[in-house]
Structure 1
Amino acid sequence: MFTNLSFGRSAVAVRRLSPPRVPGGATVGRRLSLIAATAVSAAALVLGASAPATAAPDPGATHIVESGDTLSEIAQWHGVALGTVFALNGLGPSSVIHPGDVIRLTSDTAEVSAPPADAPSAARTHTVRSGDTLGRIAAQYGVSLDSVFELNGLSRSSIIYPGDIIRLTPGEPAGSGGQEEPARTGYSITLGPNATSRVVLTYDDCPRSLEAFSDVVSWAGSNDIGLVIAPTGDCIGGFQARHGVDLPALARANGQYVINHSVSHRDLTTLSCADAAAELGAPGVVTNFGRPPYGALNSAAHCGYAQVGMSPWLWSVDTKDWTGKTQADVVASVVGQAQPGGTVLMHLQWNGFSPSAIGQMREGLAARGLELCRAYPGTSPVHLPSSLPC
């Protein structure tokens, strides 16, 4: 049970009795809500917590954000160091809070318990629950946040969701023996409908040419590699007009998996629910999984996906190939960062999209004991199965 510690006063009344706001107390950033109904957790920036300035609040105390609140004021009102508030909630100086958000003021010792000891060679994992942040997870298991980022191909701008599996140590998951992992329970927005330990290579946006696209999807199909292709609707329409070729149909004919990437690559978080749903429709790919442009999601975007019956699918490794990396750089990024069951983000027009690049990725991952997702046996369906036959 959360407790609102405004002590019967409105935020404005309390603010009148408080010191002036500290500039930058809550600035532009990604929203974090710890209310279970949102089912969303933002990635965390862990800062060193310091001792409270005054007597600590009761164990498990929280503050429900009201209009006009800032993190610095909340810390001052409750006699808690600002660094402690950051660490407990996985926030940082650039984080933004909203009315209704629940801010933790003390650690919940019942939730943070020492994990069982694993064999040194076994990989420890954590299944994300509502309210988790990467900072809290790292602190709970006594590992560094940077190592969590590296092991999972994440960054400070990444988002985690309930059901996601966070790797905490290197190595194979306990008991896996290097074999495919059993199907997980629940949908992971970063791993998508791949419930195996095979790595999925995904490609967004639009290819440079029809020849380049055809070469890759036919080569991948003939080598039993299943790529996830996410073209925009504008791209599909352009190739249809110039060449009379349907890119999604061509990819599916070669056993490749095709998902939505919107019509025109608009940031869905800037749209209403209805406009987001329209952006996810035709002439974009009409299917049951979609890649949000820029990986940007909020309540309106989730509402749009729900309206069209589509599940968003993000990624666990971002190669940043769009920065102009060479083929060798992209291959090294994939081989070095991919983890069992991971989803790798690349783009159709950059240097990771070629038979030679994908072949080198396959060889490099094989040397680490990892395999790529397999092609669909025959023509892949428009609506993908809830568990890909990787």
Structure 2
Amino acid sequence: MERSTPISRRPKAVALTFDDGPDQIWTPRILDVLADYRIHATFMCVGKAVQRNPQMLRRIKDEGHIIGNHTWDHPNLTQLPLSDVQTQVLRTTEEIDRVAGVKTRLFRPPYGDLNDDIVRKVTSLDHEILLWDIDSWDWKGLTGPQVAKNILGHVRDGSIVLQHCAGPTETVKGTLEALPYIIEVLSESGFTFSTIPQLLHLSAYR
């Protein structure tokens, strides 16, 4: 189910976000595309993936992208005790800090699943919950044209777009194929690309 987060809309601005990385296969290709177009995005990273691919996380940071926290191993948080939710958040934040030297503030729950207790817990840990208002549905294994249609058909001022930069081949291939076309069409329509901190006037790190 698509989730929304209350955001202050910026005219003709859109934020691209990429979940579940980093990896050694798809993340570098997505970074290459973003570099070609001189666009900065926001990467919501999984702690275990950071542990496996530290050099790729450092590349994300070095190329000017924003790093956020997407839990340690991508569980459904609503099925965990709050003590485990805290561990999922803090362990990932600590690993990102160890590898890249930044203490994340942005947090995205896997599947967008939350409840009031989780919101209070995450907020108490000095993290800002980040959801989205456009789901590319790339996780369904869609083709590049299908992913592009899902995004371009719904973009408005201040949209936050959910895509993925790691995962099964059929998932991320559609995103990689769609990304240049999405960037070109939106640019031709007068859109600019923002990181989440730029779009929402938030601090990325503590």
Measured against the shorter chain, the TM-score band is 0.7 to 0.9
User: Equivalents in 2 of 1:289, 1:312: separation in Å?
Assistant: 6
Query: Which structure has the larger Rg?
Result: 1
User: CA shift at 1:311, angstroms?
Assistant: 0.8
For the 8 Å contact 1:237–1:283, the answer to whether it is kept is no
Name the residue aligned to 1:215: 29
Distance 1:374 1:310, change over 3 A: closer
Q: More helix per residue: 1 or 2?
A: 2
Aligned to 1:229, the other structure's residue is in SS state: strand
Give the gaps of 5 or more residues in structure 1. Answer: 1-156, 166-183, 185-190, 377-383
Aligned to 1:239: 53
Deviation for aligned residue 1:159 = 4.9
C-alpha displacement of 1:345: 0.8
Kindly tell me: are residues 278 and 333 of structure 1, through their superposed partners in 2, closer, same or farther at Cα, counting changes over 3 Å?
same
Partners in 2 of 1:306 and 1:262 — Cα distance?
A: 14
| Matched residue SS, 1:220 | helix
Aligned to 1:205: 20
Residue 58 of structure 2 corresponds to residue 249 of structure 1? yes
Normalising to structure 1: TM-score of the pair? Answer: 0.44
Higher relative contact order (CA 8 A, sep 6+): 2
Q: What is the one-letter code of the residue matched to 2:18?
A: Y
Moved more, 257-266 or 344-353: 344-353
Q: Deviations over 1:198-226 (max 9, x none)?
A: 1111111135x525322322441353211
1:348 corresponds in structure 2 to: 165
Distance of aligned partners of 1:375 and 1:297 in 2 relative to their CA distance in 1, 3 Å threshold: closer
CA RMSD of aligned residues (A): 2.8
1:361 and 1:317, CA in 2 relative to 1: closer, same or farther beyond 3 A? Answer: same
8 Å Cα contact 2:76/2:111 also seen in 1 = yes
> How many residues were matched structurally?
189
SS state at 1:258 partner: strand
How high is the sequence identity, in percent, across the aligned residues?
A: 24
Q: Which one-letter code corresponds to 2:202 in the other structure?
A: S
* TM-score normalized by the length of structure 2: 0.78
User: 1:304, CA displacement in angstroms?
Assistant: 2.2
Whether 2:189 is the aligned partner of 1:368: answer yes
Q: Distance in 2 between matches of 1:217 and 1:263?
A: 22
Matches within 5 A, 1:111-130: none
- Alpha-carbon separation, structure 2, partners of 1:211 and 1:261: 19
Q: Is 2:134 aligned against 1:317?
A: yes
Partner of 2:75: 266
Query: Kindly tell me: are residues 280 and 238 of structure 1, through their superposed partners in 2, closer, same or farther at Cα, counting changes over 3 Å?
Result: same
5+ residue gaps, structure 2, are 97-102, 167-171
**Structure 2 CA distance for partners of 1:303 and 1:272, relative to 1, 3 Å:** farther
- Residues 106-134 of structure 1: per-residue CA shift (max 9 Å, x gap): xxxxxxxxxxxxxxxxxxxxxxxxxxxxx
Aligned to 1:292: 109
